[in-house]
Amino acid sequence: MENPLNKLKIPKWPFLLAQILLLGFAYFFVWLSPHPIAQWEIIACFAAATVGVIVGILPFVLDYRVMGKFIEAEALGEVADKIQNLKVVATQISSATNEWLNVHTQAEKISNGAKEISDRMGEEVRQFSDFMQKMNDSEKAALRLDAEKLRRAEGDWLQTLVHILDHIYALSSAAARSGKPELAAQIENFQNACRGTARRIGLVPFLAAPGEKLDPQKHQAANENETDEGAVVSETLASGYTFQGKLVRPALVKLRAAAEEPAPSETAVPESETPEEQLRLQ
């Protein structure tokens, strides 16, 4: 004899199919999303899994309620028949309860799996952030090292160029004292050409004019013991230099008292040349 309760049961396959689709959607959503996934994506996957679990449980809960109401209705009219079928009903209730417990267990497993995935994603994000920070620090350290090397190299070639110009100035001064005007003019032209080349990179030599008042910011006396308040420049012994507007070295000068008459200088070299003179000399 067919059990009338079977006719009252709700078909479970649509609910199970919906549960499988929702869980599959959550799985593929996590799988296909770019990692690390955002917080709203995690919430959406968890919500889909929760709804899938609820949909899977729903037919059993409805069956349970229908069976309870059916038992109550039959108990009012057919107490004897229900007593005979009590064992069958108890078995069905036990089966439904076991199925509900299984579904609940599966839901807990899904929840724990989602939590583990979230924890792993958080750990991966932290590791990636640490890696990027280390990369950034190493790049900054490399850039600082390169900048220091460039500054040292700039200082080295600047000092080298200053020494070369000092030797050329000494050669020009010696030629001026030699009493040979043609030789002195050639050496002077050579010195002006070298200075014009140095100006192109920002290194500008300057001289102190004879009779110019001593300026501690621009001049350095050859003998500091002879320096007094009224001292003036008698002769430039070594050129001063500025690099890109900054003083590199003051001019080394020989001093005389302000009351003394200026001695004729054979090594006087113009401090700067006009653009026409630079072109002519080069």
Q: Give DSSP secondary structure letters for 97-141.
A: HHHHHHHHHHHHHHHHHHHHHHHHHHHHHHHHHHHHHHHHHHHHH
Q: What are phi and psi of 227, to 5 degrees?
A: -75, 130
For residue 99, count CB atoms less than 10 angstroms from its CB and return exposed for 0-12, middle for 13-18, buried for 19 or more. middle
pLDDT tens figures, 22-33: 778 777 777 777
pLDDT digits (tens, 9 = 90+) for 202-215: 888 888 778 777 77
Half-sphere exposure of 53 (CA within 13 A, CB side): 18
Give the pLDDT score at 7. Answer: 60
**By percentage, how much of the chain surpasses pLDDT 90?**
1
**Can you list the positions of beta strands (E) in the chain?**
203-206, 219-221, 232-238, 240-243, 246-249, 251-256
Q: Which residues contact 90 (CB under 8 A, 6 or more apart)?
A: none
Neighbouring C-beta atoms of residue 38, cutoff 10 Å: 10
Task: Give residue 182's pLDDT.
Answer: 86
Q: Where are the alpha helices (DSSP H) in 9-38?
A: 13-32
Percent of the chain with pLDDT over 70: 79
pLDDT for 171 = 83
Which range has the worst mean pLDDT, 60-64, 147-151, 273-277? 273-277
Q: Which segment of 8-22, 60-74, 96-110, 114-128 scores lowest on mean pLDDT? A: 8-22
> Is the Cβ–Cβ distance between 207 and 239 less than 8 Å?
yes
| CA–CA gap between residue 247 and residue 249 (Å, rounded) | 6
Contact 165, 194 (CB under 8 A): yes
Least confident of 237-241, 250-254, 269-273: 269-273
Task: Decide: 220 and 253 in contact? Cβ < 8 Å.
Answer: yes
Poorest-pLDDT segment among 4-8, 48-52, 246-250: 4-8
Q: How confident is the model at residue 103 (pLDDT cuts 50, 70, 90)?
A: confident
End-to-end C-alpha distance for the chain, whole angstroms: 123
Distance from C-alpha of 89 to C-alpha of 234, rounded to nearest angstrom: 127
Residues 235-248 pLDDT 10s: 788 888 888 878 88
Token pair belonging to 176: 């001026």
Q: What angle do CA 7, 13, 19 make, to 5 degrees?
A: 140
Name the pLDDT band for 264 (thresholds 50, 70, 90).
very low
